[in-house]
Structure 1
Amino acid sequence: MADGKDRVRSRVEDWLQVEVIEPMNDFHNPRQEWRRLTSEVFGTFLLVIVAAGGGMMSQAYPGQITRAAAVVAPGLMVMGIILFMGKISGAHLNPAVTLAFSMRGDFPWRRVPGYIIAQLIGATLASLVLVWIIGVSAKYGSNYPASAATSLQAFWMEALLTLGLVSVILGTASGAQNIGVLGAIGVGGYIALAGLWGSPISGTSMNPARTFGPDLASLDFTAYWVYLAGPLLGAVVAVLLAYVLRGAGGGLSGSAAAQGDIDTEVEHPGKK
């Protein structure tokens, strides 16, 4: 009996070593997509904690958070996230960014569904955590067209703002002018600036996942089409504009910026 238990224990230990421990220790194993996906879940979670948290905290504690603080905070958070996890997953945090990188040829299409699902999960978890901690509805942390604006106006504002955001991201992650970690300053700065002037009309989402999380947590998808279609249109136009300015793809550095350093797949071997 003892010999049988020892054999079973030995087989279990061998299986754990081969199937779990060794793969986990091999960070550059191409099968380690879960590291990228975990990074996207966590990064989007942190972004939405700040982006949705500003509105929810304002509802719970009126007068404590200014509009300027609420719109600048997400930019600062994105800056920090890019700096600490950009090398893992590329720190997309946004379905529009993931699609833009893929359309430009810097990110494999087969990874797109996983990234988008991870971003939606991160945004939803953040919204649920905020509801639990703050005690107000997640709808106060979502995005809606202003009462004085139409949904169409908000749609065009989201498209315009996302065009600028994705242009900054693609531009700072291209072989022509890759600026490495300094790109975090450009992206974070743009988000803060866009929020300061664009938020009165649409709330300045520029991110379908950022709005999806609070909407799902509150079961209120009023005008969600604005925050899905607007950013996607802006991303498509940004990719077309990037082609006009720089040609196809972002080169080797563009692929590395989009995919992170874990088994980067070079999409444009002829460009540096």
Structure 2
Amino acid sequence: MANSPSTFAGPSPKLGLSIEQSFMEEGKSKGFQEYTIKVDKPPSSFQKMVAELIGTYFLIFIGCGAAIVNKIEPLTIVGIAIVWGLVLMAAIYALGHVSGAHFNPAVTLALAAARKFPLKHVPMYVVSQLVGATLASLTLRVLFNDEDSIRTITTHYSPPTTDLEAITWEFIITFLLMFTISGVATDHRACKDLSGLAVGAVLLVNVMVAGPITGASMNPARSIGPAVVSGIYTKIWVFIVSPILGAMAATLVYSIVRVPKPEISGSTTKSTYNHMYLQSKQ
């Protein structure tokens, strides 16, 4: 088992060569056995776009679908919140390894602003998310065949809630969502296995608290999709500007508590070879 080499593409911090080359050369010089590591090919840009479109589609289809069903068979705000939290959690675990599971232009823009996501990929992610949300809203309109149903899923607020109050609500709940994402998904110290559960739980709580007031958008795509299909754009700027500002503020604040990821340096020992080899086989 230990004699069968794999491949690894990546620079060696010590020699400036590939890991395969540096392992072989350092191993030979010290009498160690040669080890190499196999790494999967990363998803293509097209695959990431498809993942974001599909993930956003199902997030909006199931979440907004629950709001429409609530008019037929009462689910209550608790039931709707649970649906939103569970569908986001499932989407994260299903597609997070492909695209990172943003499903939200505010998340994409905030990660790019924090230099945790390539700026050049922002347009394709945002377009995919908007298309996915619009297609989901259109599907709901066709399936329920009722204009009043599609009006139900548009994000809006009514008096006595003011514009400032709505902006504040959306800012705070998006801040909480993005702060959680920053902690569980972008910090090298976090347990990534529970990231979907944590993010889904925060969404669930936010919908329970803010849903009756503003609709708890936290996502420009979630507001734009139903607006395009219904033709109702009243106060939509609140649900575009506020989530983006809240998400960016969250990444800025989290940067204060983030610890830089340590860099690998120094000579490589045989135990390091063994550890890395065993990790590659798991």
State if a TM-score over 0.5 links the two structures: yes
Looking at structure 2, the residues matched to 46 and 147 of structure 1 have their Cα atoms a distance apart, in angstroms, of 31
Match of 2:77, as an amino acid?
R
Indicate the residue corresponding to 1:72 in structure 2. Answer: 82
Instruction: Give the Å deviation of 1:87.
Output: 0.1
Describe how 1:120-199 pairs up with structure 2 within 5 A: 120-137=130-147, 138-199=150-211
Looking at structure 2, the residues matched to 70 and 103 of structure 1 have their Cα atoms a distance apart, in angstroms, of 32
Tell me, yes or no, if structure 1 residue 243 matches structure 2 residue 255.
yes
Scaled by the length of structure 2, what TM-score is found? 0.74
* Greater fraction helix: 1
Looking at structure 1, the residues matched to 68 and 184 of structure 2 have their Cα atoms a distance apart, in angstroms, of 33
2:111–2:117 Cα contact (<8 Å) kept? yes
Tell me, yes or no, if structure 1 residue 35 matches structure 2 residue 47.
yes
2:187–2:258 Cα contact (<8 Å) kept? no
Closer, same or farther in 2 for the Cα pair 1:192/1:29, shift >3 Å? closer
1:57–1:134 Cα contact (<8 Å) kept? no
Question: What SS class does the counterpart of residue 116 from structure 2 fall into?
Answer: coil
Residues 241-262 of structure 1 deviation map (CA, whole Å, 9 limit, x = unaligned): 01111157x789xxxxxxxxxx
Looking at structure 2, the residues matched to 123 and 109 of structure 1 have their Cα atoms a distance apart, in angstroms, of 22
Looking at structure 2, the residues matched to 114 and 167 of structure 1 have their Cα atoms a distance apart, in angstroms, of 24
Question: What SS class does the counterpart of residue 124 from structure 1 fall into?
Answer: helix
Tell me, yes or no, if structure 1 residue 93 matches structure 2 residue 106.
no
Unaligned runs of 5+ in 2: 1-39, 264-282
Instruction: Give the Å deviation of 1:178.
Output: 2.1
Describe how 1:207-222 pairs up with structure 2 within 5 A: 207-222=219-234
Closer, same or farther in 2 for the Cα pair 1:251/1:104, shift >3 Å? farther
Looking at structure 2, the residues matched to 122 and 100 of structure 1 have their Cα atoms a distance apart, in angstroms, of 20
Closer, same or farther in 2 for the Cα pair 1:167/1:214, shift >3 Å? same
Closer, same or farther in 2 for the Cα pair 1:29/1:186, shift >3 Å? closer
Looking at structure 2, the residues matched to 222 and 175 of structure 1 have their Cα atoms a distance apart, in angstroms, of 38
Match of 1:104, as an amino acid?
A
Scaled by the length of structure 1, what TM-score is found? 0.77
1:52–1:214 Cα contact (<8 Å) kept? no
Match of 1:188, as an amino acid?
G
Indicate the residue corresponding to 2:56 in structure 1. Answer: 44
Unaligned runs of 5+ in 1: 1-26, 253-272
Indicate the residue corresponding to 1:268 in structure 2. Answer: none
Quick one: which of 234, 243, 250 aligns to 1:231?
243
RMSD: 1.9
Match of 1:185, as an amino acid?
L
Instruction: Give the Å deviation of 1:191.
Output: 0.4
Indicate the residue corresponding to 1:81 in structure 2. Answer: 91
Indicate the residue corresponding to 1:206 in structure 2. Answer: 218
Instruction: Give the Å deviation of 1:65.
Output: 2.3
Question: What SS class does the counterpart of residue 237 from structure 2 fall into?
Answer: helix
Instruction: Give the Å deviation of 1:29.
Output: 6.4
Between the two proteins, the alignment pairs up a number of residues equal to 222
Match of 2:69, as an amino acid?
M
Looking at structure 2, the residues matched to 247 and 139 of structure 1 have their Cα atoms a distance apart, in angstroms, of 45
Looking at structure 1, the residues matched to 117 and 188 of structure 2 have their Cα atoms a distance apart, in angstroms, of 17
Describe how 1:99-110 pairs up with structure 2 within 5 A: 99-110=109-120
1:78–1:184 Cα contact (<8 Å) kept? yes
1:56–1:136 Cα contact (<8 Å) kept? no
2:116–2:186 Cα contact (<8 Å) kept? no
Closer, same or farther in 2 for the Cα pair 1:145/1:110, shift >3 Å? same
* Fraction of identical pairs, as percent: 32
Instruction: Give the Å deviation of 1:176.
Output: 4.3
Residues 13-37 of structure 1 deviation map (CA, whole Å, 9 limit, x = unaligned): xxxxxxxxxxxxxx8367x211000
